Structure 1
């Protein structure tokens, strides 16, 4: 082989190696990086999944609240559990929707409950919850979102945050899926009209399963018809089965006010 040909082969191999090193052909993240900033300078990082939006149609909005282990400011950790099930090819084709995954800052919470005895809702929302509601209202104005199909779900502290959100804003959401969370049972009557699927692992060491069971009973006693799934032999990671359940997805996207 001529020296010129050898050099050409070496250059081609080097180029191919570079392609494998740099993700030039990597698929961009399906959730865009976003930041909500108020006029006062308060900030809430979030990720946003867009549907294949037709301007002549309106789409559901799914609000996903992560657990406490994903608090921070990297605007990435909140995608670790659960929410990616809304971004699969199958989910996006069958259930096109806007999906937001905000990130709660470190040392803060989605909820503002008093846990000293029974869980009690305190008067004011936490700062992340306040910002999240403002963000939802902004997105409603900006995108073709169906206000009758706004859903909220969350896991662990995000499950508790889900209860906090629907108990503070009971007329905003068309359905709720709290996963291993807890809420104020005394407020059950105010949210009994919201279609709800409560999910819990019966061996959860971090969240008392009785919180989910007692809330379901309180909702039924005040006229609600919640779903309740208790996974046997499952600890805190009940969200693994929850969000991979196609029946849950089908149920959620059927709901509307």
Structure 2
């Protein structure tokens, strides 16, 4: 439980530390924020609405990418006291202040490599990631944004970010929203890795991984993937299973200004 000295509010969170955690070392940290459907008073709901938070703790994943995992949990009580963490008005909220203060506190408290903090989330969580990245542009080394959208004009600030964006064709908010953002970034000179197809997640998984590898091989910092059909919640039942995307994320490191 985190109690924020600046607001006085408390927020639970889930934290995973590597098996042989050594506070003298520095570890990458994954920050996963769930969608609004997990905003209950049971903090465990953030752990099983999809695998966006837990997949990084799987033994095979930790063997490749040993990391700390932070999963902030926004509760129903906080909704009643502060309002939703994110809203369709795309503004910074008191809930985002609390969430950010929690993330920053954990970053200071544990042995985190601040050049390798990875943000990700779905729906509400993806929106929170965008908002945080807009306000604190030097915090995340890279982000995985799933089934989310934000004010497109504000997203101009993200044109040089290291992003992998995944939406479903049938998501009537995230798909058009992120398509507009991609068009904006391209108009500003950003190179975006996309193949112009809808990925069939019911087909060959080998083909999906090959498609992801082809996007990674472009060497571009930004990637845009659209799943065929699907809907808003379907997106995150598949997105985090793409090993190529997970591996890409951990290759990223914050660039130090010279």
- Shorter-normalised TM-score: what interval? 0.7 to 0.9
Using structure 1 for the length normalisation, give the TM-score: 0.78
Report the CA distance between 1:208 and its aligned residue: 4.2
Give the corresponding residue for 2:120.
153
C-alpha distance in structure 2 between counterparts of 1:223 and 1:136, whole Å: 32
C-alpha distance in structure 1 between counterparts of 2:132 and 2:190, whole Å: 17
1:111-170, Cα deviation, whole Å (9 max, x unpaired): 2552xxxxxx43xx3222212221222222221111111111111221222222211221
Give the corresponding residue for 1:6.
none
Using structure 2 for the length normalisation, give the TM-score: 0.77
- Flag the 1:221–1:56 CA change in 2: closer, same or farther, 3 A: farther
1:226-251, Cα deviation, whole Å (9 max, x unpaired): 20000002222111221011011101
Give the corresponding residue for 2:248.
251
Give the corresponding residue for 2:223.
227
Give the corresponding residue for 2:183.
217
* SS of residue matched to 1:110: coil
* Mapping of residues 185-200 of structure 1, within 5 Å: 185-200=152-167
2:40 is equivalent to residue 72 of structure 1: yes
Moved more, 51-60 or 247-256: 51-60
2:55 is equivalent to residue 58 of structure 1: no
C-alpha distance in structure 2 between counterparts of 1:234 and 1:110, whole Å: 25
Find the partner of 1:165 among 132, 156, 181: 132
Report the CA distance between 1:97 and its aligned residue: 1.0
* Mapping of residues 20-31 of structure 1, within 5 Å: none
- Flag the 1:38–1:56 CA change in 2: closer, same or farther, 3 A: closer
C-alpha distance in structure 2 between counterparts of 1:222 and 1:146, whole Å: 31
Q: What runs of 5+ residues in structure 1 fail to find an aligned partner? A: 1-34, 115-120
Q: Which runs of 4+ in 1 moved over 4 A?
A: none
C-alpha distance in structure 1 between counterparts of 2:54 and 2:64, whole Å: 15
Report the CA distance between 1:53 and its aligned residue: 2.3
Conserved? CA contact 1:163–1:181, under 8 Å: no
Conserved? CA contact 1:62–1:100, under 8 Å: yes
Give the corresponding residue for 1:29.
none
Bigger RCO (CA 8 Å, 6+ sep)? 2
* SS of residue matched to 2:54: helix
Conserved? CA contact 1:62–1:150, under 8 Å: yes
* Mapping of residues 71-90 of structure 1, within 5 Å: 71-80=39-48, 81=50, 82-90=52-60
Report the CA distance between 1:202 and its aligned residue: 0.3
Report the CA distance between 1:203 and its aligned residue: 1.2
Conserved? CA contact 2:43–2:75, under 8 Å: no
Conserved? CA contact 2:34–2:123, under 8 Å: yes
C-alpha distance in structure 1 between counterparts of 2:13 and 2:99, whole Å: 9
Number of residue pairs matched?
Answer: 214
Report the CA distance between 1:42 and its aligned residue: 0.7
* SS of residue matched to 1:83: coil
Give the corresponding residue for 2:194.
none
Cα RMSD after superposing both structures: 1.7
Report the CA distance between 1:105 and its aligned residue: 2.2
Q: What runs of 5+ residues in structure 2 fail to find an aligned partner? A: 192-221
